Amino acid sequence: MTRQVSWIALIGTLMIVAGLGIAVVSESGRQTAASENLHTAMVADGADLYAQNCVACHGASGEGVASYPPLTTATAMDAQILYNTVERGRYNTAMAAFGVEEGGTLTGMQIESLVVMLQAETWDTIAARVAELGLTPPQIMVAEIPAETFALVEALPNGATLATGLTVYAENCVACHGANGEGSTLAPALNTDELRVRLSDSDIARIVQEGVPGTLMASWAGALEIVQQQAVVALVSDWGELNAAGIRLPMIESAPLDTSPEAIANGQRLFSLLCIQCHGIDGYGSRIAPALNNQTFLSQTPDAAIQQIIAGGVTGTNMPAWGGYLTDADIASITVYLRSLQPTAPIVAPPQP
Ligand code: HEC
Ligand code: HEC
Ligand code: HEC
What is the tens place of the pLDDT at every residue in 217-228?
Answer: 878 887 789 999
Q: Is residue 288 part of a domain?
A: yes
Alpha-carbon distance 178 to 216, whole Å? 14
Alpha-carbon distance 328 to 58, whole Å? 19
Adjacent-strand bridge partners of 106: 99
Q: How close is the Cα of 95 to the center of ligand 1, in Å?
A: 5
> How many domains, the chain?
3
Q: Is residue 76 part of a domain?
A: yes
Q: How close is the Cα of 302 to the center of ligand 2, in Å?
A: 25
Q: How close is the Cα of 127 to the center of ligand 1, in Å?
A: 17
Whether the Cβ atoms of residue 352 and residue 292 lie closer than 8 Å to each other? no
Alpha-carbon distance 212 to 221, whole Å? 12
- How many other C-beta atoms lie within 10 A of the C-beta of residue 148? 9
Per-residue pLDDT of 241-288, as tens digits, reads: 998 988 888 765 555 678 999 999 999 999 998 899 889 999 998 888
Final residue belonging to a domain, choices 74, 97, 132: 132
Asked if 152 and 50 sit in the same domain, the reply is no
pLDDT average, residue stretch 187-212: 94
Of 101-110, 206-215, 312-321, 341-350, the poorest mean pLDDT is in: 312-321
Asked if 157 and 103 sit in the same domain, the reply is no
Asked if 168 and 233 sit in the same domain, the reply is yes
Question: b/e for 158-185, b at 16 or more Cβ within 10 A?
Answer: eeebbbbbbbbbbbbbbbbbbbbbeebb
The CATH number given to whatever domain includes residue 234 is 1.10.760.10
Q: How close is the Cα of 86 to the center of ligand 1, in Å?
A: 7
Whether the Cβ atoms of residue 273 and residue 324 lie closer than 8 Å to each other? no
Which residues have C-beta within 8 Å of that of residue 136, sequence separation ≥ 6? 55, 60, 127, 130
Q: Is residue 9 part of a domain?
A: yes
Whether the Cβ atoms of residue 140 and residue 59 lie closer than 8 Å to each other? no
Which residues have C-beta within 8 Å of that of residue 129, sequence separation ≥ 6? 44, 47, 48, 51
Q: Is residue 269 part of a domain?
A: yes
The pLDDT score that the predictor gives to residue 166 is 94
Asked if 117 and 39 sit in the same domain, the reply is yes
Asked if 239 and 166 sit in the same domain, the reply is yes
State which amino acid sits at residue 9.
A
* Mutational test site, ligand 2, from 217, 219, 225, 309, max ligand atoms within 8 Å of CB: 217
0.85 exceeded by pTM:
no
Whether the Cβ atoms of residue 225 and residue 157 lie closer than 8 Å to each other? no
Per-residue pLDDT of 32-55, as tens digits, reads: 778 888 889 999 999 999 998 888
Whether the Cβ atoms of residue 126 and residue 48 lie closer than 8 Å to each other? no
Asked if 7 and 104 sit in the same domain, the reply is yes
Asked if 112 and 181 sit in the same domain, the reply is no
Alpha-carbon distance 199 to 42, whole Å? 48
Q: Using alpha carbons, select from 104, 141, 111 the residue that is nearest to residue 4.
A: 111
Q: How close is the Cα of 289 to the center of ligand 3, in Å?
A: 6
Residue list, ligand 1 pocket, CB within 6 Å: 53-54, 56-58, 68-69, 71, 73-74, 82, 85-86, 90, 93-95, 98, 114
Q: 320 to each of 121, 289, 350, how far by Cα in Å?
A: 27, 12, 24
Nearest CA to ligand 1 atom 1: 94
Nearest CA to ligand 3 atom 43: 319
The pLDDT score that the predictor gives to residue 18 is 47
Closest listed ligand to the CA of 94: 1
Q: Is 241 helix (H, G, I), strand (E, B) or coil?
A: helix
Residue list, ligand 3 pocket, CB within 6 Å: 105, 274-275, 277-279, 288-290, 292, 297, 306, 309-310, 314, 317-320, 322, 334
Closest listed ligand to the CA of 59: 1
Q: Is residue 350 part of a domain?
A: no
- Ligand 3 atom closest to 297 (CA): 26
pLDDT band at residue 109 under the 50/70/90 scheme: very high
Answer yes or no: is pLDDT of 25 > 60: no
Give the domain extent around 32.
Answer: 2-132
Alpha-carbon distance 149 to 246, whole Å? 10
Asked if 177 and 289 sit in the same domain, the reply is no
Answer yes or no: is pLDDT of 102 > 80: yes
Asked if 107 and 206 sit in the same domain, the reply is no
Helices (H), 24-158: 26-53, 55-58, 79-88, 108-119, 123-132, 147-154
Q: What is the mean pLDDT of the chain?
A: 84
The pLDDT score that the predictor gives to residue 193 is 93
Per-residue pLDDT of 231-243, as tens digits, reads: 999 999 999 999 8
Per-residue pLDDT of 306-351, as tens digits, reads: 887 888 777 777 788 787 678 888 999 999 999 999 999 988 765 5
Alpha-carbon distance 309 to 312, whole Å? 5
Answer yes or no: is pLDDT of 125 > 80: yes
Closest listed ligand to the CA of 288: 3
- Ligand 1 atom closest to 71 (CA): 24
Nearest CA to ligand 2 atom 19: 217
Q: Is residue 141 part of a domain?
A: no
Q: Is residue 52 part of a domain?
A: yes
H or E stretch at 167: helix 159-172
Whether the Cβ atoms of residue 185 and residue 323 lie closer than 8 Å to each other? yes
Q: Is residue 41 part of a domain?
A: yes
Q: Is 106 helix (H, G, I), strand (E, B) or coil?
A: strand
Asked if 203 and 301 sit in the same domain, the reply is no
Asked if 199 and 273 sit in the same domain, the reply is no
Asked if 168 and 271 sit in the same domain, the reply is no
pLDDT average, residue stretch 97-120: 92
Answer yes or no: is pLDDT of 20 > 50: no
Final residue belonging to a domain, choices 69, 103, 132: 132
The pLDDT score that the predictor gives to residue 239 is 93
Judging by beta carbons within 10 Å of its beta carbon (0-12, 13-18, 19+), is residue 147 exposed, middle or buried?
Answer: exposed
Q: How close is the Cα of 104 to the center of ligand 2, in Å?
A: 25
Longest dimension (CA), the chain: 81
Q: Alpha-carbon dihedral of residues 269, 273, 276, 282, nearest 10 degrees?
A: 10
Whether the Cβ atoms of residue 319 and residue 313 lie closer than 8 Å to each other? yes
Final residue belonging to a domain, choices 132, 159, 176: 132
Whether the Cβ atoms of residue 353 and residue 289 lie closer than 8 Å to each other? no
Per-residue pLDDT of 56-85, as tens digits, reads: 788 889 988 777 889 998 989 999 999 999
Higher pLDDT, 138 or 135: 135
